[in-house]
Amino acid sequence: MTTATDQIRETIEKNDVVLFMKGTKMMPQCGFSSRVAGVLNYMGVNFADVNVLADAEVRQGIKDFSDWPTIPQLYVKGEFVGGCDIVTEMTLSGELDALFEAKGVTFDKDAAEKIRAANG
Q: Is 84 annotated as a binding residue?
A: no
Distances in whole angstroms, Cα of residue 61 to Cα of each of 72, 84, 119 = 13, 18, 34
- Domain regions of the chain by residue span: 4-119
According to CATH, what is the number of the domain 4-119? Answer: 3.40.30.10
What pLDDT shows up at residue 25? 96
Question: Residue 42: left if φ>0, alpha if ψ -120 to 50, beta else—which one?
Answer: alpha
The pLDDT, as a whole number, for residue 35 is: 97
Confidence check: pLDDT of 6 > 80: yes
**Which sign does the torsion angle of CA 49, 50, 53, 54 carry?**
positive
Is residue 2 over pLDDT 90? no
pTM: predicted TM-score of the whole model, two decimal places: 0.96
Q: Residues with Cβ < 8 Å from 1, sequence gap 6 or more?
A: none
3-state secondary structure of 16: coil
Per-residue model confidence as pLDDT tens digits over 35-78: 999 999 999 999 999 999 999 999 999 999 999 999 999 999 99
